Amino acid sequence: MGFPTAPFQAPPGAGLHFLSGRFAHRFVLRSDFADGIVGMTGVRMDAWLWAARFFKTRTLAKKSCDLNRILSNGQVAKAAREVRAGDMLRITTEGGEFEVEVLGLSDVRGPASVAQTLYRETKASKETRAKMAAERRAAREFEVLPVGRPSKRDRRRIIQFRGRE
């Protein structure tokens, strides 16, 4: 129980120097050539989303689960649902919609470089997000913005339009 008896052995050339520290037992990575997973078998959905840096706080991750914005293997995921390596997640955030495969498990928030090793985004998801970003950039070109500050007359019209007077 508790800590694993043997330290985590990273594949050669993986560059996983972060797994040698005090919290090494909390990170579990699935390699394509390893048969099993050492240590954890599952982590709470909200904790994994927070550790993978999809949300700034666990509370935001939990709210997203409660609003059915997280799908695990095609089913709506609750915050307490366990995430396992190999799961396919569809995550809807303000930044877009991500479709990812879970590669590693963690319940501690580490650096962004570590968080990116916990999942792999699908090609279709990357293409969709790139397309949406291009559409947003294109829409900005046609947006008409005022040249300077509003005049006194313009301010009065704005106040009247908003219904303050």
- Position 144 scores a pLDDT of 83
**In which band, very low, low, confident or very high, does the pLDDT at 164 lie, cut at 50, 70 and 90?**
confident
Which amino acid is located at 36 in the chain?
A: G
Question: Going from the N-terminus, what domains does the chain have, and what CATH number goes with each?
Answer: 17-162 (3.10.290.10)
For residue range 84-127, list pLDDT tens digits in order: 999 999 999 988 899 999 999 998 998 999 999 999 999 999 99
Tell me the C-alpha distance between 87 and 89, whole Å: 6
Burial class (CB in 10 A: 0-12, 13-18, 19+), 25: middle
Strands 43-44 and 27-29: unpaired
For residue range 23-76, list pLDDT tens digits in order: 665 665 544 333 333 457 889 999 999 999 999 999 999 999 999 999 999 999
pTM: 0.67
- Position 32 scores a pLDDT of 38
For 152, phi then psi, to 5°, come to -60, -40
Contact 85, 102 (CB under 8 A): yes
